[in-house]
A and B are shown apart, each in its own frame.
Chain A
Amino acid sequence: MPNTEFTPSIPSRPTYTGLVSQGAAPAIMVADEAGAGALIDLAASDASVMDHAHVVLIGCGVDVLRTPAPAAVHEAPDFEAATPVITQLLGEARMGTQLYLAGSEGLIGHVSAIAFAQGLPLDVIQSEHRGPIARRMQCVHCKGITEDVTTDPFTCSHCGLTLFVRDHFSRRLGVFQGVCVDAETPGVVPETVEIRP
């Protein structure tokens, strides 16, 4: 399955241009189960890309990436467990290290935000979207983050407000912003639809 094509939107909406090998440079790669496919394709295009790669797999097993073997593989069950590993890898990395992200928008946004906080320019982070188009949404009212949002509007998992899925994206936090639907007219909520790419 190739990189997802998203409908063009406002400039704040991130775009994912797909992974392109930068050769055998030191690299940090982060992927979820669907994203691991993008790493396999990347390695198929240039096996040397794995020579000095540290791969963090979130919620999937090492066996997806056997040949060519990366320099090291770290497994984490979820974002929360992966965050300290990624932060440490970024913290120890030297200039010239490449960052490859693949998988859900939530993963790409989350890791980009960590890297951004460490001073890495966003335009050097490569990313490829694979798998479901669920979003990580932040409620602009209570600031709580709801994972895996697939419908618009949706219910904030923290404060219970009904929120619109907006294309406004916070690069600092790596989340899309959800805004209350029925602030003016409580209870008047448009029909719920599946979000589309």
Chain B
Amino acid sequence: MKLALKVTEVETLSPLVKRFRFEDPTGAELPVFSGGAHITVEMPEGDIIRRNSYSLISDPYDGSAYEIAVRREDQGRGGSLYMHTKVSEGDEITVSTPSNLFQLDLRARKHVLIGGGIGITPFLSQLKQLDMEQKPYELHYAARTRDEAAGLKLLPEAAHIHVHISDEGARMDIGAILDGQPLGTHVYTCGPEGLIEAVADQAARLNWPETAVHSEAFTAPPPGEPFDVVVKSTGQSITVKADQSLLEALEEAKVKVEYSCRGGACGRCQTKVTTCDGRILHNDHWLSEDERGAQQDIMPCMSRFKGTRLELDL
């Protein structure tokens, strides 16, 4: 479902990160959500609509507004730049209703939240939920410099909220964070791939069950070289532009593909490949190593192609 909202606040949190607040133009209550949920924002430019998903950072129990924080990616394919340069207070904006791929497991006895850089965003709503439900947790936020640490303005000061600024010599020690946590603890990581892997490795080394280790890695699709894709059912050939994702190109051509996260994390857009003369550039976090190698599936929200012919079972 889509919501037509109004931009009511735009705030610069750091040189690269802006916060946006969206409200219903009539002041109606918005659907509430759970900590870790995201919305998909529509960004119309000319005759194409770009869509990016962003974690909600506002209070899940507060239906008066949705807030997101967007980091400007100058190398990106334009979504975040659009948010930074084209969106201002008073504008109309279309977003999806929230959905959640990064839920807290509320049976856990304790929650350890680890956010790196802009990966702090899903935790901002989660910690409000944890406070509300009075669940024990600790949050670790790692950033390179204080200037880049946009999350600082959004985090409350509390004993169980730890900020690690590596330029100030306070590097995050993942081993020390995980070691000795009480039985029944769950850990959640969001941030760069390297951080997610480091936490998973450390947890495995300390014999944490895999089911207690959660992460969210969704990122905006990367740009790349243009390529062509053929839709099997109609024979139609579509060009995916450099600054467009395969999913966006299919949508522009009115080919229907299911999606949710648009960041390679949820699996919804998985599509069968019927011909592949070349190499799929898998950028998702969904397919397994074997599936990647087989080249019989592609995640159009993230992945691209290099070669002579790519035909999809659509």
Residues of chain A whose beta carbon lies under 8 Å from any beta carbon of chain B: 22, 25, 90-91, 93-98, 115-121, 123-124
Contact = CB atoms under 8 A, between A and B. Distances in A.
Contacts of B183: 90, 93-95, 97, 118-120
Given A119-B185, A120-B183, A95 B208 contact: yes
B130 to A, nearest CB: 13
Nearest to A122: B211
12 contacts: A90-B183, A93-B182, A93-B183, A95-B181, A95-B185, A95-B212, A96-B206, A119-B107, A119-B185, A120-B184, A121-B209, A123-B209
B180 interface: yes
Nearest to B178: A95
A191 B268 CA distance: 52
Contacts of B185: 95, 119
Interface string B69-113: 000000000000000000000000000000000000101111000
B206 A118 contact: no
Interface of B: 105, 107-110, 178, 180-186, 206-209, 211-212
Contacts of A90: 183-184
B109 A98 contact: no
Contacts of A22: 207
A123 B209 CA distance: 8
B109 A121 contact: no
A93 B212 CA distance: 15
B110 A119 contact: yes
B211 A96 contact: no
Contact of A119 (B109, B178, B208): B109
Interface centre among A25, A91, A117, A119, by most B CB within 10 Å? A119
Nearest to A118: B184
A98 B109 CA distance: 16
Given A22-B207, A95-B208, A118-B109, 8 more contacts: A91-B182, A93-B182, A95-B207, A96-B207, A118-B183, A119-B108, A119-B109, A120-B183
Q: Which 9 A-B pairs have the closest CB atoms?
A: A119-B184, A96-B207, A119-B109, A93-B183, A124-B209, A121-B211, A119-B108, A118-B184, A95-B181
A98 to B, nearest CB: 7
A94 B208 contact: no
Contacts of B110: 119
B177 to A, nearest CB: 11
Contact of A116 (B107, B178, B206, B212): B107
A96 B208 CA distance: 5
Given A94-B180, A94-B181, A119 B186 contact: yes
